[in-house]
Amino acid sequence: MVHDKLTLDSKNFPVLAVLYPDEMQFLRTIAKPLELAADVPVIMEGQQPESLYLIQTGLLVVNKRHDRDIFEVGSLTPGEIFGEASVLFNTPAGAEVRSIQPVSMLSIPVEPVRDIIGKNSRFAHALAQLAERRSAATALAVNPIFSKLPIAVRETLLYNARYISFSAGDIVFEEGDEDIEEMFLVLSGEARASITHPSDEAKETMVAHITSGDEVGEISVISGRPRSATVTAITPLRLLTINMESVDAWRRRYSDFGYALYARVQGKMQRALEAIKPLEPEGDNSTVTGKP
């Protein structure tokens, strides 16, 4: 079946509606057509940004690596754009995008797009909203707890989402904190979880390395006890907040979610115990570091 290619305009690509006429015309003059067969990667996860892509015909799939598994986290259809997060934030691609049908696209080089972003705050905001919504949907889809929720529930969660950011070195929460009303899902960045050294309160031992798609803070939400570890941003960190009331309601209603949540809590507590056991009274310098 032959499909008509979409014209580069705001009717076919709604995210471009905030562009000024001269900006739209400029994109038309520099957009390069790209034809791909089925099962061809357009963007590889970890790849440096090269272009912003606009889909004219065909279908693509988005795959995300998390831990040792690869998850299919979404699809892209005509009228959608992708590559916006890498272009906007100058970061490596967070997922693979691969054609599953023959695809026709338009490719727009990074630098001209960034020039427009720098001049048009509405365009920058539209791309940022799109990137954040997609990163949150991806994190929910790969997380072993939240992936157990029905899609409709995850979509409602995204609709009501609240996001927070931390700079490298910032503390998300500290061991012993009694503010336990929320848990968090990592959308981008890296962090570490550490606990106080058993024989020296001035030192800590790292018990977990946290990356996008991981959850933090769920142990306190489940147990009702103060935070069991300190979580510190290693890189700039973006988090989705999830309140205790929602988590309690979901684990009562969706048994798979509840089982997955308890399994993750049990696994983390076991790993924390294993990290403590080998420490000698004076500490093991290979695993113990000074607190930031």
Least-confidence region, from 54-58, 111-115, 249-253, 282-286: 282-286
Per-residue pLDDT for 106 more than 90?
Answer: yes
Reported as a single tens digit per residue, the pLDDT across 170-184 is 999 999 999 999 999
Per-residue pLDDT for 271 more than 60?
Answer: yes
Domain 14-142 annotated CATH 3.30.70.100: no
Residue 168: predicted pLDDT: 94
Per-residue pLDDT for 99 more than 90?
Answer: yes
Identify the CA nearest to 184 among candidates 124, 227, 238: 238
Residue 235 binned pLDDT confidence (cut-offs 50, 70, 90)? very high
Q: 161-192 b/e with 16+ CB inside 10 Å = b? A: beeeebeeeeebbebebeebebbbbbbbbbbb
Q: Which long-range contacts (CB under 8 A, 24 or more apart) does 196-200 make?
A: 197/279, 197/283, 197/288, 198/276, 198/279, 199/279, 199/281, 199/282, 199/283, 200/282, 200/283, 200/288
At residue 181's C-alpha, the angle toward residues 144 and 173, to 5°, is 80
**Residue spans in the chain of domains classed CATH 2.60.120.10:** 14-142, 146-282
Q: Which two tokens stand for residue 250?
A: 């979901």
Per-residue pLDDT for 285 more than 70?
Answer: no
In the block, residue with structure tokens 């962090």: 191
One CATH from 3.40.50.150, 2.60.120.10, 1.10.1750.10, 3.90.700.10 for 146-282: 2.60.120.10
Average pLDDT over residues 240-250: 94
Per-residue pLDDT for 282 more than 90?
Answer: no
Average pLDDT over residues 81-87: 93
Half-sphere exposure of 3 (CA within 13 A, CB side): 16
The CA dihedral of 131, 137, 142, 148, to the nearest 10 degrees, is 170
Residue 200: predicted pLDDT: 67
Q: Which long-range contacts (CB under 8 A, 24 or more apart) does 213-216 make?
A: 213/64, 213/66, 213/138, 213/139, 213/142, 213/143, 213/185, 213/186, 214/143, 214/185, 214/186, 215/143, 215/145, 215/146, 215/183, 215/184, 215/185, 215/186, 215/264, 216/172, 216/183, 216/184, 216/186, 216/191
pTM: 0.80
